[in-house]
Amino acid sequence: MIYYRMIQHTSMRHMAIGGSVFLGYDLIHEALRYHDHQCQRPMIVDHLVAMSVIGTVGGFMASNSLRGAFQGFLFFGINFGFLSYWAFKQGMRPGAGASQSKIFYDADVSKEEKERFEM
């Protein structure tokens, strides 16, 4: 019973904070990319702006000072922004989620059988 009470009183706040971070990123990115056909900026600029805003707000909320806001801006905008953009782009490549199929042939397999397996 005590575990249920602990989860009831703590997890809702953490879930709301985590959800608001992702919602904030989505809304900032959508606002910057609203007219995507007219946008001349690279996508990394919009990603870094969104991560910098999230880091600044998070740093200010965590420390309640301008120094913490600046530290959040630097950490999320500069460090975490570039790394997360690289990971984001790696996941968007064609076939990024699927591994290559490994087919091993015996020494006595003919070309016709190889073509049949590869189709």
For the residues 22-43, what does the mean pLDDT come to?
86
Residue-range definition of the domain harbouring residue 15: 2-118
Residues 6+ apart with CB under 8 A from 73: 52, 55, 56, 59
Burial 83-115 (b: 16+ CB within 10 A, else e): eebeeeeeeeeeeeeeeeeeeeeeeeeeeeeee
Is a pLDDT exceeding 70 seen at residue 99? no
Dist CA 105 CA 11 (whole Å): 53
- Look up residue 93 and give its DSSP letter: S
Q: Which two tokens stand for residue 76?
A: 């999320």
Say whether pTM exceeds 0.85. no
- In the chain, the number of structural domains is 1
Q: Which of 9-13, 54-58, 99-103 has the lowest mean pLDDT?
A: 99-103
| Contact by Cβ (8 Å): 77, 52 | yes
Q: How confident is the model at residue 14 (pLDDT cuts 50, 70, 90)?
A: confident
Write down the pLDDT at residue 91: 77
Q: Which two tokens stand for residue 75?
A: 């950490």
Q: Which two tokens stand for residue 116?
A: 């049949």
Q: What is the mean pLDDT of the chain?
A: 83
Q: How confident is the model at residue 113 (pLDDT cuts 50, 70, 90)?
A: confident
